[in-house]
Amino acid sequence: MTRILVTGALGQIGTELAAELSARYGKSSVVISDVRKPDEVDGKLKFVSLDVTDSENIAKVLVENEITDIFHMAAILSASGEKNPALAYRVNSDGTFNILEEARKAGINRVMIPSTIGVFGPETPRINTPDITVLRPTTMYGITKVNAELLALYYRDKFDLDVRGLRFPGIISYLTPPSAGTTDYAVDIFYHAVQEKDYKCYLKKDTPLPMMYMPDALNALIQLFEAKRENLRHCLEYNVSAYSFTPEEIYGKIREVYPDFRITYEPDFRQNIAETWPASLDTHFAKEDWNFTPQYDLKRTVDDMIMNLKRILIHQ
């Protein structure tokens, strides 16, 4: 029987991923973990407290819960990583090493590790960024994620561990707010519009970044998890995204629904990060190897975000 451990399960992607995995494979197939305790334990999924920097506890959790597969979602994102680089290194680099090493020892079947557009840097081609290209990031987040990509390759080639992953762009979602990344504005802006508040954006109006909607992000990850191993020519070097936009462009789309919505721009340190990241991605490795095809274009994303945030924030 498949029994999946999700680390970082209280984060933006982890929360929805755990729900989707339990919908697909059954509640008893998913064990969620995080360094934080959930506000309320709803009893739906088993929760275990897990700090990924503690390898002994990882080993214990894997054995005690008869874990067969891992989705390693725990990470410190780009903006918080710049505020606390030592913590980002411990969680992202030591934590990923611990997960891979304990997975190898425990004979885990598949280890899923999301990477990010944060692995790219100022020397990387910014338009239609290829899957294989220059990886010289300037953030601690990016450095630790390049490390994770290389560790994944090492464990795959040296120990035949089945490690899979993809490079996420900014993820737009309405259930759990993102935690201190550079792309968070693309979620915050919707919360402000729906609550009829003005929005102060920390990026310049003309800063393009690749993005995708949460249902496509989850599908991408789970399709990759389910793909036949022999079809996967790569390890974590799979760019995925659905579209790219600038703050001014997404503001324009939201104003079609909220014509009185106002935005101002006050760039901060996150602008420097965004300027080192791609404007758009070439996603053809993911398309070729596991048929990655996003379902949500920008209009469908905007409509769905607004509908759901109205339901959650206004009508509840």
Active site residue 141: yes
CA dist 172 to 43, 241, 250, Å? 27, 11, 12
Beta strand 209-213 pairing with 243-245 = antiparallel
67 vs 143, which CB is nearer to ligand AKB? 143
Contact call for residue 8 and ligand AKB (CB under 6 A): no
Residue type for 189, please?
A: I
Q: How far is the CB of 168 from ligand AKB (least distance, A)?
A: 6
Q: How far is the CB of 263 from ligand AKB (least distance, A)?
A: 19
Q: Which stretch binds ligand AKB (CB under 6 A): 44-52, 82-90, 111-119, 195-203?
A: 111-119
CA dist 137 to 15, 100, 115, 147, Å? 28, 23, 13, 11
Site for ligand AKB (CB under 6 A): how many residues?
Answer: 12
Q: How far is the CB of 292 from ligand AKB (least distance, A)?
A: 17
One residue of 8, 95, 165, 181 binding ligand AKB per CB under 6 A: 181
Contact call for residue 116 and ligand AKB (CB under 6 A): yes
Write the CB contacts of 314 (distance below 8 Å, at least 6 apart in sequence).
Answer: 194, 195
Residue type for 237, please?
A: E
> Burial letters for 236-264: b for 16+ Cβ neighbours within 10 Å, e otherwise?
bbbbbbbbbbbbbebbebbeeeeeebebe
Contact call for residue 118 and ligand AKB (CB under 6 A): yes
Contact call for residue 92 and ligand AKB (CB under 6 A): no
Contact call for residue 117 and ligand AKB (CB under 6 A): yes
What is the distance between the alpha carbons of residues 1 and 25, in angstroms, rounded to a whole number?
10
Catalytic residue among 141, 155, 213, 296: 141
Handedness of CA 136, 137, 140, 145 (dihedral sign): negative
Contact call for residue 77 and ligand AKB (CB under 6 A): yes
Contact call for residue 244 and ligand AKB (CB under 6 A): no
| Active-site residue list | 141
List interacting residues with ligand AKB (CB under 6 A).
77-78, 116-118, 141, 168-170, 181-183
